[in-house]
Structure 1
Amino acid sequence: MIQKICVMTDGDNISAKYAADILKAANTEGQLIACRVYTDATKANGWASTPGYRLVHSGAGKNAADILMALDAVDLCLTKNVMTFLIASSDGDFTHLATRLREYGAKVVGIGEAKAPAVYRAACSKFLEMKPIAPAVTVTAPPQAPKPKKVAATPQLSLLDSQIHRLIQESPQGPGEMTYGAFCGLMRATYDITPKDLSETDWRSYLQSRPKLYFVSPKGAEAVVRLTSKPLPNAAHSAG
């Protein structure tokens, strides 16, 4: 014959994290007809939101949960003929309750933590010790390495710009610059290139249309052509 079993949990002594373990143990002992947890309902101890348990508010007095739990257990045994109890607590004060219930012929299964005293364990028909539940471990993702900055590709110079760069870099007037007049003359003398070979109308227009490569000062006798960037890789070597 399947025994009716009632779970009586001391919510002031047992953490709600053991709720599932207590129910599992009860279901192996008989047919669960009542599952109660006794505690101060105003406490935020997790029992109020635990499914499967009827929360019995015991108030905030000292040992209030213990006293109410003991009274209800004796009442269930004598008036409802419940003959199997699972007392979930590690409190040695329940030694007397376990002893009295067994005197009435009831089976008492105690369940609690390792700290439960030996005298309480001995008063039960049997005692189940719950294993400590390890705290949840928060896994933190390793920090991501910073993304490498994109480096702009270095543009290749056209053959004409390579020739201009070489001419200005080797300028006798100073590396990287020369007068506009000297530039026009040397481009013709060195490479035989004149404005008629350009898509622009003159050298000034050509140079000013490429501000990342060249700087041309305002018109005048002292107008200067200057490189505005460091020497760039050539697409082809100039002739001569």
Structure 2
Amino acid sequence: MAEPEKRIALLIDADNAPASKIDVVLAEVARHGVANVRRAYGNWKSPAMKGWESMLHEYAIRPIQQFAYSKGKNASDMAMVIDAMDLLYAGKLDAFAIVSSDADFTPLVMRLLTEGVKVYGYGAQQTPEPFVNACTVFTYVEALGQPANADNGTTKAQPAKELRGDTRLVQMLRNAVEAAGDDDGWAHLGAVGSQVGNQASFDPRNYGYRKLSDLIDAIGLFEVKRQGPIVLVRDKPKGRGKRS
């Protein structure tokens, strides 16, 4: 019997998310399950929300009206948090997808994770790191719907020197390879991906690479062995990395 599809609540902070990217965000969410709850929060009286109107109807997203009760305060954030907790306690969902570039949602993400549900985040590249790192997986919207390793825009592949200079990324990959490796240090790439996902929010597309294997090849710190469809990875001895 086929495993039932995961039920996902898609909650959009429309004040801090581009309407032009909602189609690719929905396609990405569909990789994880069915977004059977779709809500977008904002002050729909505001002219700034005009770009969202056609998207709401086209993608069956329910608009949730929030007036700005006081200057400088975002009532939409509070409404999203309240709805997320109500949906969580209803117990009928497997995951949440939050579309925002606002770090104020970090405590909400951490609370949802403690209940054993996954949280997929989508936002702009300027999204603060606490929110990015809190999510099960966070993907920059600039990386969605663009050719992999593009030579223009924000999806351009980071070069090996830049990748190796990212100590967090290097340590995360090395820890994952070590944890998944056999006695000779070889680890199945799929197991490495799972280990990385357990450590922190991670998506190779945020670095300009379509797949984890492409990123592993580019960083030049690991030996790669391909046996048909199976890809094995192990850490290179120090000093033998590729030159950039």
2:24 is aligned with what amino acid?
Answer: D
Residue in structure 2 matched with residue 49 of structure 1 by the alignment = 54
* Residue 83 of structure 1, CA deviation: 2.2
2:9 is aligned with what amino acid?
Answer: C
For structure 1, the residue ranges without an aligned partner over 5 or more in a row are: 134-240
The CA distance in 1 between the partners of 2:13 and 2:111, in whole Å, is 18
2:22 is aligned with what amino acid?
Answer: A
Correspondence 1:126 to 2:137: yes
Tell me the matched-pair count. Answer: 134
- Partner SS state of residue 73, structure 1: helix
* Residue 81 of structure 1, CA deviation: 2.2
The CA distance in 2 between the partners of 1:11 and 1:22, in whole Å, is 13
**Regions of 4+ moved over 2 Å:** none
The CA distance in 2 between the partners of 1:20 and 1:31, in whole Å, is 14
- Partner SS state of residue 131, structure 1: helix
Deviations 1:28-59 (A, max 9, x none): 11112111110001013222321211111011
Given candidates 118, 122, 129, the residue that maps to 1:111 is 122
Residue in structure 2 matched with residue 3 of structure 1 by the alignment = 6
Residue in structure 1 matched with residue 106 of structure 2 by the alignment = 95
In the TM superposition, 1:19-58 aligns within 5 A as 19-44=22-47, 45=49, 46-50=51-55, 51-52=58-59, 53-58=61-66
TM-score (norm 2): 0.52
Larger radius of gyration: 1
TM-score (norm 1): 0.53
- Partner SS state of residue 12, structure 1: helix
* Residue 132 of structure 1, CA deviation: 7.4
The CA distance in 1 between the partners of 2:74 and 2:91, in whole Å, is 25
Correspondence 1:68 to 2:73: no
2:26 is aligned with what amino acid?
Answer: L
- Partner SS state of residue 82, structure 1: coil
What percentage of aligned pairs have identical amino acids?
Answer: 32
1:76 is aligned with what amino acid?
Answer: L
- Partner SS state of residue 15, structure 2: coil
Higher percent of residues as helix:
2
